[in-house]
Structure 1
Amino acid sequence: MPAAASEPRGGAAGDRLIAGRYRPAARLGRGGMGTVWRATDELLGRQVAVKELHPDGGAPATAALREARAVAQFKHPHVIGVHDVVEQDGRSYIVMELVEGGSLADRLRGSGPVDAPEAARIGIALLGALSAAHRQGVLHRDLKPANVLLEEGTGRVVLTDFGIAQLPGSTTISEDGAFVGSPEYTSPERMQGAAAGPESDLWSLGALLCAALSGESPFHRDSLGGVLHAVVTDEIRPPLATAPLLPVVRGLLERDPARRLTADEAHEMLRAYVSSGATPVAPRQYTPTERVAVVEPARRSRTRAALIAAAAVVVLGGAGAGAAALLSGGDEGGGQARAAAGGTATVTGHASAAAEPGPPGPTVTVTRAGEPSPLGTAPAGYRHVRDPDGFGLTVPAGYVRTTDDRRVFYVSPDGAFRLGIRLQQSVSGGPLGVMRHSHANGPDTNPGYRGGKVVSTTHQGHDAALWEFSWNGFSAAEGPRHTYDECWDENGTMYDVWVSAPVSRLDEAKRHFDTALDSFTPSA
């Protein structure tokens, strides 16, 4: 770590001993929980790092010490070594190994994002560190680039700052009411104030991989309220730079902890990438249909709204009514929009346009080996899937499945093509009313919305509407895009299928769109 000239509490650097043996020399860093000093262990004649805990650092020193002692019970090459825990003059200190080298955050600031092989190497090391901690019942709870050290000369990856680690069952809010962790890297379940397990650290790893590959967390916003909204309910759009590791990133950034990739699964996928250089696929044993309880859509919507409101109260506290309103109201890109002209009826807003990329979810193979397909032989370059959300269709081979609790996406390995599907109860106004509502809101949901048109049509004998438009994409790197979207009513259910793609590849996009529509079948 780069040294900064600063005096430790109680005198100038070098003027005092901590616990009779540790002599601080220079400050290495400072955070909400404490200040880290380079120091000399005069008993053993070695250099160490000493973390001086702040009594008012956001969590009681006693809790931090309890968990630091827990971390000291195990060793792992990618976990910072804890040598000692001492107290002096009313202050508590954690004595750790000194890692010569800056943090991943330092590297990103100084040299920019890392390439995919380096990100995979870092991810593998951190998975080993987290697994070692989790086996001891310890959660890190603050995994972020600033807490990952890169040792000079060896390149060793070291996970540090277990000072706020706690055992499973703890929440985001500490005993004194402070937020624990870094919001941009905090899992949705912890943001909502719920108890969290090892899966929450794996979410943080997914956000960290995004930051390593692109330069910043995908949940970076200008305010805590904005970060909370991004983590809990906004659409998660992994940066294009994550394409080589996209299935891993999406699998880790799954909002439902039960569907999140496990450490072993993520490790296997990253190892496969390192050995082959090819975009990894989900492990064969990964079976999300066995992990996920089907939730009735209306109940799911109410539960989601309640969680968002609860998250606003827990995390924002006294931040003001405006932030709470941001989370509990407004269109989430697929929420409900009230009819104009003072009407009391509601029309369920169209989901695809406002959030096409979809939040990340696990990579899955839905059609099991040897399972006969009811759709016959798939065209060259395609495969049939029977999706656990209750439908079947034909998608391009190699596309990755993701979900956001309301929509299902099949995304190309490079992230350029997004095929989306949504099922919901039929609503007043029918497909044409929904599409016209979405078209009217197009400029608000899709940057640079233009050329939008809605026409009445049919789908296999059912009333349907087709919506087509161009837009600028969600980022300059993504570039101009075009979307084809069709929805229809069938036996009390409204089905919606869309494809979004770069404007330079419209022929390919239309082929994928037509193939998906022609093959779409509701589950029996």
Structure 2
Amino acid sequence: MSEVESTDGRVLADRYRLGEVLGKGGMGTVWRAVDETLGRTVAVKELRFPGNVDEDEKQRLVTRTLREAKATARIRNTGAITVFDVVKEDDRPWIVMELVEGRSLSDAIREDGPLTPKRAAEVGLVILDVLKAAHNAGILHRDVKPSNVLLADRGSEPEGRGAGRVVLSDFGIAQIDGDPSVTSTGMLVGAPSYISPERARGQKPGPPADLWSLGALLFASVEGRPPYDKGSAIATLTAVMTEPVGPMTNAGPLAEAIKGLLVKDPAQRLDHDGAYALLSTVAHAPERPVAPPTSDARTVVLKVDPQPTPTDAPPATRAAAADQARLRDALRSVRKAAAAKMPAKPAASAAAPEPGAPVPPPAPPRASLTDVVPRRTMVIVAAAIVIALLGTVIGIALANSGGGDGGNGSAAKPGAKTSASTSASASASASGGSQDSKGGGTDDGKSPSTPSGSASAPTTPATSAPAGFYPFHDTEGFSIALPNGWKRVGDNGYGSGSKFRGSDGRELLVDVTHSPGPSALGAWQHDSKTKGPGIPGYQQIAVVKADYRSYDAADWEYKRDSGGTQVHILSRGFVTDAHHGYAIVFTTPADAWTSDSNTKALATFFATFKPAK
């Protein structure tokens, strides 16, 4: 905790009285504050310098913070945060902005599950509108991802702002036309899962790069995971550049817009107008009425004409046909607009056709890369790309404290929380809230099979790492001891938490939420029933209360298939205070679950974990 954070009620510029901490990131803290001059609640973002930085680096961070305020203030859109003031205290800038009460989109996805295509399209339209306003002002966001989208609580917004308002935040790494870059040479900043292919290749980005990130965000909104997540920055960026987007099982009518935004060639990617047409079609589609159940248990067989005419088709069929027609019309408009923008290409050898001559059919679509290049060659190419990326990825490692999507080590992290007390990204599955830690029992009547000695920990965290382990201090504020050789390889896929991996394949995820739920056990029981059946090879072992210090805690233990092998997973969720809930998720090969090394690892994780203050 910094000296500033320990000072309750501090007043900035004789006007802004600081209250509770809303969120923390690698380079900043966001406070709830009261503007005593106007009598309103605001959010104040404080720039914090990490340890051991020189004066040049401090100046770069100050410039970056001022650029965030400048970029945000230039955007006139209700979907962007409003900046009220910038004050200077302790030789650092403090940004004063509106407070949006709510949670991030990444929180909503984890806590409530993926969005429906219609809701995702509604969110996408707001973000698209903000991006268009930013691009018209010469600003690229460069960090569009679920943790940087805020969903306001209904009833918390001032009159006229709209219930359920959607806000795009965190312009901390925005690029502004006319301003010199404040990013270190060769450094690639942002979340690898949401970085466009052209940025991954080191090319100068334009507005299409933000639209690609919007497509990745929409994919994550409906599928519950980003389109590219290979566990490490290098592997993820390589996939972004070389691999096609994976299958979408939940996107439905939104799939066409997502595919159009995730086209790797920025020149062929959907533009603002094209994306607007497709998203509007999905967002404005009428809700499907649910047919009432029959009054008895008899089976009713309906004979349906396989090709009903518009006049004799059932109402639901006609509505579906109308939706499909509107979608086709939108697609046709997008393709015509794209064709109109394409420059004319000279014929290779044939002369132009005479007037009235038959028009030759359009050229077939280009084959995928793997259709024209052998897969073995692709592997060689990918390896070359990885080597070329190493210099760039070093920048990611520096910016993200060891990897991931930039949510934990980037100066932009606090922006996801600047205007919401609950907008820090985390897993609700890790959360609880009740202080009643008594009771127990498993959800399926089985006893947990946790290795001996690992089910509990001392009532206070251990003060040092044991032999064979080293302390890791995360920018989210927590710390934990890890086995020597283990490295941070990413986050939870939504921009928060930290994932670690050892050379033996074992993994640890420490997830965090700033909006704990009412019960850790209840959260695991809900997830085990709703999400468990969808996990490949899922075999539940136990869902049980855990005796862990004084926290409301619970364990969810199960086995699953992973890459042809079976792994054993223990997820311990618990709450440390009103704004911090965690999950310590340990994954190991199933046949090694009861080994001495696993027993020691789990005992050390639980004993040395220290939450943020």
Q: Which one of the candidate residues 4, 26, 37 is aligned to 1:9?
A: 4
The alpha-carbon distance between structure 1 residues 208 and 318, as it changes in their structure 2 partners (threshold 3 A), is: closer
CA distance in 2, matches of 1:202, 1:112: 24
Q: Which one of the candidate residues 253, 272, 290 is aligned to 1:244?
A: 253
The alpha-carbon distance between structure 1 residues 127 and 164, as it changes in their structure 2 partners (threshold 3 A), is: same
CA distance in 2, matches of 1:131, 1:17: 37
Tell whether the 8 Å contact from 1:55 to 1:61 is kept in structure 2 after alignment: no
Question: What residue in structure 2 maps to residue 29 of structure 1?
Answer: 23
The alpha-carbon distance between structure 1 residues 169 and 265, as it changes in their structure 2 partners (threshold 3 A), is: farther
Question: What residue in structure 1 maps to residue 42 of structure 2?
Answer: 48
Moved more, 119-128 or 211-220: 211-220
Q: Which one of the candidate residues 315, 322, 333 is aligned to 2:393?
A: 315
Q: Normalising by the residue count of structure 2, what TM-score does the alignment of the two structures yield?
A: 0.47
CA distance in 2, matches of 1:176, 1:54: 22
CA distance in 2, matches of 1:22, 1:312: 45
Percentage of identical aligned residues:
44
Tell whether the 8 Å contact from 2:101 to 2:152 is kept in structure 1 after alignment: yes
CA distance in 1, matches of 2:115, 2:94: 34
The alpha-carbon distance between structure 1 residues 173 and 94, as it changes in their structure 2 partners (threshold 3 A), is: closer
Tell whether the 8 Å contact from 1:173 to 1:180 is kept in structure 2 after alignment: no
Deviations 1:329-348, CA, capped at 9 Å, x for gaps: xxxxxxxxxxxxxxxxxxxx
The alpha-carbon distance between structure 1 residues 173 and 90, as it changes in their structure 2 partners (threshold 3 A), is: closer
Moved more, 258-267 or 167-176: 167-176
Q: CA deviation at 1:175?
A: 2.3
Query: 2:262 aligned with 1:267, yes or no?
Result: no
Question: What residue in structure 1 maps to residue 336 of structure 2?
Answer: 285
Query: 2:209 aligned with 1:200, yes or no?
Result: yes
The one-letter code of the counterpart of 1:143 is: V
- Matched ranges for 1:32-431 at <5 A: 32-56=26-50, 60-153=61-154, 154-167=163-176, 174-175=183-184, 178-276=187-285, 278=323, 280-281=327-328, 282=331, 283-287=334-338, 290=342, 309-316=387-394
CA distance in 2, matches of 1:113, 1:170: 38
Deviations 1:207-248, CA, capped at 9 Å, x for gaps: 100111011111122111221122121232142112321110
Greater relative contact order (CA < 8 Å, ≥ 6 in sequence): 2
Deviations 1:112-137, CA, capped at 9 Å, x for gaps: 11111100100011111111111100
The alpha-carbon distance between structure 1 residues 307 and 264, as it changes in their structure 2 partners (threshold 3 A), is: farther
Tell whether the 8 Å contact from 1:8 to 1:24 is kept in structure 2 after alignment: no
The one-letter code of the counterpart of 2:25 is: G
Q: Normalising by the residue count of structure 1, what TM-score does the alignment of the two structures yield?
A: 0.54
Moved more, 53-62 or 80-89: 53-62
The alpha-carbon distance between structure 1 residues 138 and 164, as it changes in their structure 2 partners (threshold 3 A), is: same
CA distance in 1, matches of 2:263, 2:344: 12
Deviations 1:300-345, CA, capped at 9 Å, x for gaps: 99999876643343124697xxxxxxxxxxxxxxxxxxxxxxxxxx
Tell whether the 8 Å contact from 2:23 to 2:30 is kept in structure 1 after alignment: yes
Tell whether the 8 Å contact from 2:188 to 2:396 is kept in structure 1 after alignment: no
The one-letter code of the counterpart of 2:195 is: T
Q: CA deviation at 1:95?
A: 1.3
The alpha-carbon distance between structure 1 residues 120 and 190, as it changes in their structure 2 partners (threshold 3 A), is: same
Tell whether the 8 Å contact from 1:23 to 1:41 is kept in structure 2 after alignment: yes
CA distance in 2, matches of 1:272, 1:13: 50
CA distance in 2, matches of 1:270, 1:33: 35
CA distance in 2, matches of 1:8, 1:291: 60
CA distance in 2, matches of 1:274, 1:222: 33
Kindly tell me the number of residue pairs found equivalent between the two proteins.
316
The alpha-carbon distance between structure 1 residues 291 and 38, as it changes in their structure 2 partners (threshold 3 A), is: farther
Moved more, 198-207 or 58-67: 58-67
The one-letter code of the counterpart of 1:203 is: W
Tell whether the 8 Å contact from 1:171 to 1:196 is kept in structure 2 after alignment: no
The one-letter code of the counterpart of 1:40 is: V
Tell whether the 8 Å contact from 1:169 to 1:195 is kept in structure 2 after alignment: no
Q: CA deviation at 1:291?
A: 6.1
Tell whether the 8 Å contact from 1:143 to 1:201 is kept in structure 2 after alignment: yes
Q: CA deviation at 1:292?
A: 10
Tell whether the 8 Å contact from 2:63 to 2:182 is kept in structure 1 after alignment: no
Tell whether the 8 Å contact from 1:47 to 1:98 is kept in structure 2 after alignment: yes
Structure 1 unaligned residues grouped into runs of 5+: 1-5, 320-446, 448-473, 476-524
Tell whether the 8 Å contact from 1:232 to 1:308 is kept in structure 2 after alignment: no
